[in-house]
Amino acid sequence: MELIYTVTRRFGSKGQSLFEWPSSEGIAICSISNRNTVAFTSVTELDDVTGKTWKAHVFVADLNIPWETHLVMSHSEIINYLEWDVSGSKLLITDSNGEIQMWAMKDYLLNDWSCLTTASFPGEHILCAAWFHHGKKMALNIEKKDAFMYMEKFTPIRFGPSIRYFGGRPREGCLAISITGVVCVVILQSDGTTITSSESLGSLRSRLKVVDLCYGKNGDFLVAASDGVVSSAIQCYKVTLRLQQEKCVITSQALPSFYPNCYIITSGSAADKTCTRVTHLRFVIREAADAIVVCIAGNNDSIVELWELREKQIPLHKMFLSQSMDSKLKTVCWQHHASARTPSQVVALTTPRSSIYDSNPPPSYILAAYQDSTIKCFYRESLHLVCSITINPSACRLDEAGVTLPGSATLISDMQLTWTGCALLTIDSLSQLYLYRLSPITDPGGPVSPNYAVTLLEYCMMTGVDWWDILIGLKPGMIESISDKMSDTFNRQPPALQQYYLSRFLAIKMTIYRCLSTGHFKAGDCYSLLMLNAIANCFKSVLRPTDLSSLDKGPAENLTAIMTSKQHSETTDVDKVILNFEKNKEFCVEPATLQSLQQLIQWVANFTLYLLASLPQQYHNMIRFPGGGLLADHKALSSLRELLVVIRFWGLIRHTCLPVFTKTSENLDVVSLLFKLLTRTLLCQGSEPDENLLDECCLLPSQVLVPKLYLATEAAGVTSPSLALNPLPLSFEYKCEPEFMQFTHEPIMLEGSIPAFQKYDIVRHIYMGSNPSIYKQCTRCSSVSMVKVSPKSSATRAWDQRWARACPCGGHWKLVKSST
């Protein structure tokens, strides 16, 4: 474990009346989404230095820029549980008075939240809660972990949704367990209303102290509960939900229970019974009910016990046997697996949310934080101690002048592992954050290997889980090797699978390269290829076949066939190719739709101009340009060539949809010139370009103004070159952007190009002005986009929705309002 960064808060100066800040455990809690955003609580606002805003506040932050927090809500009751949904855009918040609130991001903006619904169960102190399972799970097949094909390497696991709509679609909702043993259920309806229900967990109501739950493969929930007394059994239940006439029916079934091992071995002897209470209870994995971790505390020490559910044979007396029965009956029961004793009390315990491995048992870490400010990492097998670290949260208490304040030490309050298990986030009772990176689960205590990183990145690509926490464990010297391995495996996949995952694959490669100080060139290549592929799919999606009975080839396939035929593959005159299109009505599109796509048409033309104008400098001067690597990509150049032909043909239908250029001569046909030079460049693939081509490309900036392109090459936050350039741990402060994390590359301009001092919409490819009043910005690359634009056609509506959830690089959107 290595500390990556700390995020601290500032307190009042010594001259003021000091506020008695809390220092006991359990005040601050946190939860991490599968998109690596953290939600956490604080008893005051984070910039409050005097304690005047005493309340229960919930904040969210991107782990990439943890100093920038956003308030979700403030509450008068103590908030005791937070839970993200599987999309990473909804947050479940429960309090000590039985109120369950569901909050959601507005338009997927990290700093803009609204309350979906509130359900009240008066007097029920909520101990644990979870969203319904959506019924999808994918894991790595251990036996075929070295296979090249994704569909062999990663296999879907049968998992049932908690509650379904008619037809099998999963419903949204949550289940919570209260301190009095009540199961509380809230179901979200498609019309915005809710269905609520409650039922007793056991046959008799009893007071509970610690509870945890996990998902069953058939859509049910498995619950483990204890009243906190070591002499009482750890009770286990299976909770099943079903809808009957718009009412939720809750069924609870008791399962085998067990007593803590420390109570069993001392109950019949005169040994000193120092451990008297159960303080923590966790399933080892949230999606597997085969193992539970129990923490038992005494006055000065604590014990961590691992229990596993195993099959056991029970011998039967012969009087109970028949001819068809075996002499031994098979059943399942809990068996003690291992224990770890520490001379300090456990204050926080965490286990993985899921496992990427399809094995039994899956490898996993178990982490426990103790009252003496130590964190111990255990490996599941025999609770082997992997590492132990000590933190000193009290050293981080600073006043307004930056001087360390004296006072009692704060305690670790809560911990959470990221969804891939590569990082651990710890929060203390003052809501200060500490992020650690962990060693690979396949090699406890060892370094991250390129093969392990590639496997995790491929898992993220297949499942949709964010990969930010993997990047913080990569060394700069590994990045090229990881990228090459990913590309080699990806290129072996079937074409349909490549097309499906191409955007996410390129987004992962883009963020990997941005971690290097010289990686912005290849990052620009990845973004350019991603955007080119997206625009090509958008253009081809508006084409409609003229004969529905002929479904062998669609318009897109016909376009490729025409452009790759012997007749047109070497044609440099775009108008000769257009003659084949005039006889084919399937390339005709409504004029209104064409006009709505003008900004995308403009980007294709600008990018082609940018590529061709950079060719001489890249060849003669050996100067790299972001995006310039596509000159060596035959498939990308062929796609650009196809799009130029489509643009030329659409210009015959509606002239105003054609790209606009600033030219030195009004008679210059830029699209025709670009097509000619691009075709000649394509024909030179695999050999050196001829001098005539280079000379004509050199003249382009003097004939046409080459606009500046924005290719999302800048990296913001922790996953930038600053991580490798600064010593660890990095020290941050809430509401204060650190100057040492601001890294910018030296701009490389094409000869003859003129930069535009305006903000550029990275999605719609239009200028927004130098100081727009409101816009959204990416938390990973700082690219910007307009918040909302009225779509002019179904094609542009689909284009906007494609990038609504995340930036093209995979980062989160946040709302920015101009101060002037």
**CA-closest candidate to residue 291, choices 348, 345, 238, 363:** 363
pLDDT at 664 over 80: yes
Please state whether beta strands 412-417 and 423-428 pair in parallel, antiparallel, or not at all (unpaired): antiparallel
pLDDT tens track for 439-498: 998 888 888 999 999 999 999 999 999 999 999 999 988 999 999 999 999 999 999 999
**CA-closest candidate to residue 808, choices 514, 572, 576, 531:** 531
Distance between CA 338 and CA 318 in Å, rounded? Answer: 35
What's the pLDDT score for residue 543? 81
Residue 276 and residue 317 in contact, taking contact as beta carbons nearer than 8 Å: no
**CA-closest candidate to residue 809, choices 492, 526, 452:** 526
Residue 777 and residue 783 in contact, taking contact as beta carbons nearer than 8 Å: yes
Residue type for position 503? S
How many Å is the Cα radius of gyration of the chain?
30
pLDDT tens track for 313-344: 777 767 766 666 666 667 788 888 999 998 88
pLDDT band at residue 707 under the 50/70/90 scheme: confident
Q: Which residue's entry shows tokens 């949310």?
A: 353
**Residue 294 token pair:** 């129990």
What's the pLDDT score for residue 546? 61
pLDDT at 21 over 70: no
Query: CB within 8 A of 168, min separation 6: which ones?
Result: 161
pLDDT at 87 over 70: yes
What's the pLDDT score for residue 399? 53
- Which residues, listed in sequence order, are joined to residue 100 by a DSSP beta bridge? 94, 119
Positive or negative: CA dihedral 637, 639, 641, 644: negative
What's the pLDDT score for residue 355? 87
DSSP-derived secondary structure letter, 715: -
Query: CB within 8 A of 373, min separation 6: which ones?
Result: 390, 391, 392, 393, 409, 411, 412
Question: Which strands sit side by side in the sheet containing 154-156, from one edge to the other?
Answer: 154-156, 138-141, 357-358
| Region label for 402, one of left (φ > 0), alpha (ψ between -120 and 50) or beta (otherwise) | left
pLDDT tens track for 483-518: 999 999 999 999 999 999 999 999 999 999 999 888
Span 202-216, average pLDDT: 90
User: How many angstroms from the chain centroid is the CA of residue 657?
Assistant: 37
DSSP secondary structure of 502-515? HHHHHHHHHHHHTT
Residue 275 and residue 224 in contact, taking contact as beta carbons nearer than 8 Å: no
pLDDT band at residue 790 under the 50/70/90 scheme: confident
Residue 116 and residue 125 in contact, taking contact as beta carbons nearer than 8 Å: no
Query: CB within 8 A of 550, min separation 6: which ones?
Result: none
- Which residues, listed in sequence order, are joined to residue 120 by a DSSP beta bridge? 99
Span 21-36, average pLDDT: 73
In this predicted structure, which of 188-192, 486-490, 579-583 has the lowest mean pLDDT? 579-583
pLDDT band at residue 25 under the 50/70/90 scheme: very low
- φ/ψ (deg, to 5) at 409: -70, 140
Distance between CA 220 and CA 228 in Å, rounded? Answer: 25
User: How many angstroms from the chain centroid is the CA of residue 608?
Assistant: 33
Helix and strand numbers, DSSP H then E, in the chain? 16, 37
Prior bond of 729 cis (ω within 30°): yes
pLDDT band at residue 654 under the 50/70/90 scheme: confident
**CA-closest candidate to residue 219, choices 195, 196, 238:** 238
**CA-closest candidate to residue 224, choices 237, 241, 243, 233:** 237
Distance between CA 309 and CA 316 in Å, rounded? Answer: 21
Distance between CA 631 and CA 90 in Å, rounded? Answer: 42
Residue type for position 494? P
pLDDT at 19 over 80: no
**Residue 454 token pair:** 């590639």
Distance between CA 282 and CA 616 in Å, rounded? Answer: 62
What's the pLDDT score for residue 16? 42
User: How many angstroms from the chain centroid is the CA of residue 375?
Assistant: 26
- Which residues, listed in sequence order, are joined to residue 672 by a DSSP beta bridge? none
Prior bond of 361 cis (ω within 30°): yes
Q: Which residue's entry shows tokens 């209870």?
A: 281
Q: Residue 755 CB: number of other CB atoms within 10 A? A: 9
Q: Considering the entire predicted model, what is its pTM?
A: 0.90
Tell me the three-class secondary structure of 310-350, residue by residue: EEEEEECCHHHCCCCCCCEEEEEEEEEEEEEEECCCEEEEE
pLDDT tens track for 370-416: 988 899 999 988 899 999 998 875 555 555 555 555 444 578 889 99
Q: Residue 122 CB: number of other CB atoms within 10 A? A: 7
- Which residues, listed in sequence order, are joined to residue 330 by a DSSP beta bridge? 313
pLDDT tens track for 282-306: 999 998 888 999 999 888 888 999 9
Element (H, E) at 651: helix 634-653
pLDDT band at residue 271 under the 50/70/90 scheme: very low
User: How far apart, in Å, do the first and last CA atoms of the chain sit?
Assistant: 45
Residue type for position 789? V
Q: Which residue's entry shows tokens 């604080």?
A: 42
pLDDT at 223 over 80: yes
Highest mean pLDDT among 53-62, 324-333, 581-590: 53-62
Element (H, E) at 575: helix 574-582
Mean pLDDT computed over every residue of the chain: 85
Say what angle helices 555-564 and 574-582 make with each other, to 10 degrees. 140
pLDDT band at residue 604 under the 50/70/90 scheme: very high
Please state whether beta strands 384-390 and 412-417 pair in parallel, antiparallel, or not at all (unpaired): unpaired
Span 151-164, average pLDDT: 88
Distance between CA 482 and CA 696 in Å, rounded? Answer: 38
Burial 401-435 (b: 16+ CB within 10 A, else e): eeeebeeeebbbbbbbbbbbbbbbbbbbbbbbbbb
Q: Which residue's entry shows tokens 């963020």?
A: 511
Element (H, E) at 681: helix 670-683
**CA-closest candidate to residue 263, choices 237, 227, 233:** 233
